[in-house]
Amino acid sequence: NGPALCVQRASSTTRFAVSQDELKKQVGYKSVDDYVQSGMVVGLGTGSTAAFAVERLGMKLKAGELKDIVAIPTSIRTKEQAESLGVPLVTLDSHSVLDVAIDGADEVDPALNLVKGRGGALLREKMVEVCAKKFIVIVDDSKMVPGLGVTGAMPVEITPFCHEHTQRTILELPGVKGAATGKLRMDGDKPYVTDNDNYIVDLYYTDPIADVKAVARALEGVVGVVEHGFFLDMTTAVIVAGKEGIEVIN
């Protein structure tokens, strides 16, 4: 049995000239409206789509439509946004189980497996989102792919210590060697540094990855790899917005 599909057609007004930003806002707002209730512990993702969910949560708390919420941000920038909106924050140290986590994604395949981390927040995102009873992914339809690894980087967070060695080790792995090239993510002329003071190697595949689980396992076996951007078997539902309307896939 494949994922179930529930399609809500766009109203006549939303069918015309909807920008990508508007699509992100639609799914961000819908995720909070449909999945967040008073009293919940909520995981807040990172990125331009997740920012709309954070915005909606802040609005509903301010309006008194939601009460007794605590939230766990997945990056420093999400923490700052949530704080600016008055969203009460906690951490996994005090709350190891979340009712729901909401986040964007870079790629979503037909089995609802994901590539995440092009925004650099993969480690905190995965740490928080694996602890959620429901993980709701919010995307515009450009993120839906037939197979992972086709639209851009597959990020791997690594330690700065001997990062060139770790990058070479990654590029020799089965499922990576001959299939992908690797590039240390840069921020100007310096390596990009994550919220956890690590580096990122971006893997670029030319074809969809044949055995994603095998590549994920191989990466997990490399000492020096902190986390990879495959989010496998984690998704509860994907809310997708496109020109034709919003779909909920689960």
Q: By the criterion CB under 6 A, which residues form the site for ligand 5RP?
A: 45-50, 103-106, 116-122, 125
Cβ atoms 72, 92 nearer than 8 A:
yes
Q: What is the dihedral of CA 46, 113, 155, 55, to 10 degrees?
A: -10
Residue nearer to ligand 5RP on the CB measure, 135 or 218: 135
Spatial separation of the C-alpha atoms in residues 208 and 26, rounded to whole Å: 29
Nearest by Cα to 81 from 110, 113, 49, 111: 49
Our CB check for ligand 5RP shows the closer of 37 and 142 to be 142
83 given a catalytic annotation:
no
Nearer to ligand 5RP, 73 or 169 (CB): 73
Round to the nearest angstrom and report the end-to-end CA distance of the chain.
11
Half-sphere exposure of 185 (CA within 13 A, CB side): 23
Measure Cα distances from 80 to 72, 129, 224, 228 in Å: 12, 19, 29, 25
Q: How far is the CB of 156 from ligand 5RP (least distance, A)?
A: 12
Shortest Å distance, C-beta 111 to ligand 5RP: 18
Cβ at position 43, least distance to ligand 5RP in Å: 12
Closest distance to ligand 5RP from the beta carbon of 155 (Å): 8
Q: Toward ligand 5RP, which CB reaches closer, 82 or 169?
A: 82
**Contact status, residue 126 vs residue 231, Cβ threshold 8 Å:** yes
- The residues, any chain, with a CB within 8 Å of residue 159's CB and separated by 6 or more, are 166, 198, 199, 224, 226
* Minimum separation from the CB atom of position 16 to ligand 5RP (A): 23
Residue number with CB closer to ligand 5RP (139 or 169)? 139
- For residue 163, what is the enclosing H or E element? helix 163-171
- Tell me which of 55, 65, 83, 125 is the catalytic residue: 125
Question: So which residues are the catalytic ones?
Answer: 125
